[in-house]
Amino acid sequence: MRGGRVFRSGERAENLLILRVMKKLSLVGAALSGLVSLACTTVHPVIAGDVPNTLTVIGTGEASGAPDIARLTLGVEARSTNPEQAMNDASRKMDAVIQVLQRAGVKPDDIQTSNFNIHTEERSIPLVDEDRPVATEGAPGAAGAGVSSREIAPAKGPAPVPPPAPPQAPPDAPGREQRVLYYVATNSVSVVLRDLPRVGKVLGEVVQAGVNHAWGIQFERENPEPLVAEAGAKAIVDAKQRAAVLAQQGGVRLGRVLSIAEGGGAPVSYGYARESGIAMRAMAVDAPIEPGQVRVRQNVRVTFALE
């Protein structure tokens, strides 16, 4: 008996068992809490000399080659006071241009409509005064050669009253002009020409067929990847040479390459030509066209370890 309470032997054993289970559960809970704490913590060990000294340089490489395709945009334009007529005229002109391109060997897959548009345009047209008499030379033998053939007999009696003055033209239409609303339809196609020696001749033929607008000639390589790879290899060599010079100047020894990042490159075309408007209409049948060269420039970022 403790504290005035009598414990039976069976009850005492049961209480001791409960105390032992609770103690074990407490230990397990503490262990789980430690695991959760470790899982939520990122350990960053710091070791002296673990991060090497580095040198980062930018290398540049360039490769060039002859183009094998030419891209250009050709357009026709038609104008009428009737919108349907303007659209039909533009379509008719473009059909003639496409026929010329196909006869020149351009495949249908290399011809694509890039724009079809119709808009209004207002123009002022001078009016012709039909009431004004037209002077002509007199008949042979008539007195006063060069006098108007419309003879007017002298009036008898009082002089006739002059006609009233014509109304003044509005400020926006000086000189008796009439404003006319036109509908302008344009149709354009993007074309890929693969026979480069015949580009000038094809341009002259499409101009004669009705083309009155052209948006440049861009010479390209259809597959620029070989040039890109060549430019990238030259960029790596350039980066190594730059790093070696800097390391020598800094009194350190160049180590292994740690990382290489491509800085990007884009093909740069030369031999660009542009003709439009009146210049296109005046183009010769065989216009001189020089394709030039296609150049690709590539940049790389290289990081070296220093020993």
DSSP state of 257: E
pLDDT confidence band for 291 (50 / 70 / 90): confident
3-state SS, residue 69: strand
pLDDT at 135 (0 to 100): 42
Q: How far apart are CA 28 and CA 23, in angstroms?
A: 9
Q: Is 111 exposed, middle or buried (0-12, 13-18, 19+ CB in 10 A)?
A: middle
The answer to the question of residue 215 being in a domain is: yes
pLDDT at 33 (0 to 100): 52
Write out pLDDT tens, residues 141-152: 444 444 344 444
The answer to the question of residue 192 being in a domain is: yes
The answer to the question of residue 278 being in a domain is: yes
Decide if 296 contacts 220 (C-beta within 8 A). no
Write out pLDDT tens, residues 164-212: 555 555 555 455 778 889 999 999 999 999 999 999 899 999 999 999 8
Give me the DSSP letters along 248-270: HHHT--EEEEEEEEEEEEEEEE-
Q: What are phi and psi of 222, to 5 degrees?
A: -60, -35
The answer to the question of residue 157 being in a domain is: no
Decide if 215 contacts 115 (C-beta within 8 A). no
pLDDT(134) > 60: no
pLDDT confidence band for 262 (50 / 70 / 90): confident
Mean pLDDT score, 57-64: 94
The answer to the question of residue 193 being in a domain is: yes
pLDDT confidence band for 124 (50 / 70 / 90): confident
One-letter amino acid for residue 239 of the chain: A
pLDDT at 214 (0 to 100): 85
Q: What are phi and psi of 48, to 5 degrees?
A: -60, 130
The answer to the question of residue 256 being in a domain is: yes
Number of domains in the chain: 1
The answer to the question of residue 11 being in a domain is: no
> Which CATH number characterizes residue 110's domain?
3.30.70.2970
Decide if 214 contacts 190 (C-beta within 8 A). no
The answer to the question of residue 163 being in a domain is: no
* Helices 199-209 and 83-103, packing angle to 10 deg: 150
Decide if 217 contacts 71 (C-beta within 8 A). yes
Tell me which residue range forms the domain holding 216: 63-126+176-306
3-state SS, residue 46: coil
**Half-sphere exposure for 191 (CA within 13 Å, toward CB):** 30
3-state SS, residue 186: strand
Q: How far apart are CA 72 and CA 276, in angstroms?
A: 12
Q: How many residues does the chain have?
A: 307
Q: What are phi and psi of 207, to 5 degrees?
A: -65, -45
pTM, two decimal places: 0.56
pLDDT at 210 (0 to 100): 92
Task: Write out the two tokens for 180.
Answer: 């006319």
